[in-house]
Every structure is written in structure tokens, then in C-alpha cells.
Chain A
């Protein structure tokens, strides 16, 4: 065990193990709140999709599967790099930690850039709910608008979590680069990892629920 640094044990804990478990538990309690928080949006989605399955399928067909799929791959890859970053911290490998954290942040930025292109395309196609909304199939326009309200609310809230995540990651990079994280103490890295993986999991559900509705109705739709 390296002892070239001041003990990472805070006075209220008996052991480093206990300190680590405490941090992990606290973070998971926050994630429990986040699960219910996003759960509210998923509940709205569940109800309105049940009410208007045809309109939701029509709305979903306007989304670009390729971009959605690329973003899914990007986020899952960023979870891999984040897991490897935590591992680097566990093994006290500072340079490796910084590299994996950097890779995670870059992938997060790629995700947001793609999202930006998706959103601006929606704006141009008049698919943003509001006064300028216009749906190709006018008859189901109102119900399709609800799909897009949920699309923007859910992916928007997710994107906001991505932005916060990237900002936190940038903040985390400073002590990481200074070698503050190592085998005895890497709680901030682990806790940030939990947040990042959670945001990935939200997208894992968003992608099929928003992009893949009723795709078998129109082959090549």
C-alpha cells in the first residue's frame, strides 16, 4: 500500500472500506431518486403511447434510426471507458485514469453534437411542438405532437444530464491529474462512474422506446 500521501480516511469512518461503502450507498440513494425522476417521464410516455399507438409509431418514423443507433453505441462505449477509468484509479495509475476519463468526456461530447444535429433537423421539419408544429399526416397531428413533446422532454432531460456529467467530469479531471485518486481513495471517480452509467441506462431505454416504434409496419420506413 503506497503511503506517500496523507491518509485518505476521514475521521468519522473506522476504515477505508467503510468510507467507500458509505460513499457508494449515498450515491445509489441519489440514483434511486433519479430513477423515479425519469420514471415520471416514462410513465407519461407509457400512458400516451397506449392511448395513441398509431400516432406514436408515425412520430417515431420521423426519427433517424442511424443517428440514434450511433449515439447508443457512443454512450455504451463511454460506459466502457468510464469503467476502465475507475479501474485505473483502483490501480493507482494516474495517467491511465486521466486518459480514460478524457475518452469518456469526448464520447459524451460526440453524443451531444449528434443530438444537436438531430434537434436542428427536427426544427427544420417543423416537428418541434408549439406554434410552428406541422405533421405530414395532419389527421393525427395533435397526437403526434404529444409524441414529440415526450421526445424532446425525455431526450432533453437526458441531454441536460449529459451536459452536467461532462461538466462534472471536467471538474474531476483536475484532482485526477494531480494524482489525488489511488487504490486507497477513488470514491469521487467511482461515484461519478455510477452517475455516468445511470445516464447511459436511461438512453438504453430511450432508444428503443422512441426510435423503434412500429418499424415493422413500413419496411424500410
Chain B
């Protein structure tokens, strides 16, 4: 008796097919002009694909609660890296607050 949850083959195959479909979708969407939405769609699809891999292939859906805490926690710190660095960069042209 395995000490971990055994996932059905059909579940793995279903996830694989979903990942294939999303890959095709992301390439197709790249050629359509959606304006600023292009970036949102690209990233959104990539995040969805990554979520499927994390939850099913990496078994996080079947794991104890501590594992998702580590996963979400590391992404949280990644977001801090992006947000604070870009905030610095994007506000460089601003005039100094309270300058004489």
C-alpha cells in the first residue's frame, strides 16, 4: 500500500491534454491583436498551466497543508521582488516629494 496518494493515469493524461490545448491557445492568441490584453492573456495562460502542473503532477493537491504554504509563500516573495523593484523604476521620473 503506497504511503502517498496514487493518481489515476487518466487524470495525468487529462492534465497533459489540457496543457497541450493551453499551449496551442497561447500561440494562437499571440497572433491576435488584443492590445494590452495580450500580456494578460499570455501570463494568465502560463499561470494556469503552472497551477495544473503544481497541483496534479507535483501532487500538491494531495499533500498536507504545509506544502501549499511553502509554494504560496515563495510566490509571495517573488511578487514582492517584482512589485518593489518595478515601483522604484516606474517612479524615477517623479519629482522629489517636498523638494525646496
Q: Do A and B come from one complex?
A: yes
Of the four ranges (under 10, 10 to 19, 20 to 34, 35 or more), the interface on chain B belongs to: 35 or more
Min Cβ gap A201→B in Å is 5
- How big is chain A's contact interface, by range? 35 or more
Stretch at the interface among A25-33, A125-133, A144-152: A25-33
Q: How far is the CB of B50 from chain A (nearest CB, A)?
A: 5
The answer to whether B12 touches A25 (Cβ under 8 A) is: no
Contacts of A31 in B (CB 8 A): 74
Determine which of B15, B19, B63, B82 lies in contact with A46 in the assembled complex, contact meaning CB atoms within 8 Å: B82
Partner-A contacts on B (CB < 8 A) = 1-4, 6-7, 9, 12-13, 15-16, 19-20, 23, 26-27, 30-34, 38, 42-43, 45-46, 49-50, 53-54, 56-59, 63-64, 66-67, 70-71, 73-75, 77-78, 81-82, 85-86, 89
Chain B residues with CB under 8 A of A20? 3-4
Among B2, B16, B43, which residue has the most Cβ atoms of chain A within 10 A? B2
Chain A positions within 8 Å of B46 at CB level? 204-205, 208-209
Q: Name the residue on B nearest A18 (C-beta).
A: B3
Interface presence of A65 (CB below 8 A): yes
Within 8 A of B (CB), among A165-221: 183-184, 186, 190, 193-194, 197-198, 200-201, 204-205, 207-209, 212, 215-217, 219
Q: Flag if B67 contacts A24 (CB, 8 Å).
A: yes
Whether B30 contacts A212 by the Cβ 8 Å rule is: yes
Which residues of chain B have C-beta atoms less than 8 A from A110's C-beta?
A: none
Whether the pair B9, A87 counts as a contact (CB closer than 8 A) is yes
8 closest cross-chain pairs (CB), A and B: A32-B74, A212-B30, A90-B2, A216-B33, A183-B2, A215-B30, A80-B16, A208-B42
Give 29 CB contacts A-B under 8 Å. A20-B4, A28-B67, A35-B74, A35-B78, A36-B74, A40-B81, A43-B85, A46-B86, A50-B86, A69-B27, A76-B23, A79-B53, A80-B12, A80-B57, A83-B12, A90-B4, A90-B6, A183-B3, A186-B2, A197-B53, A200-B53, A201-B49, A204-B46, A204-B53, A209-B42, A209-B46, A215-B30, A216-B32, A217-B33
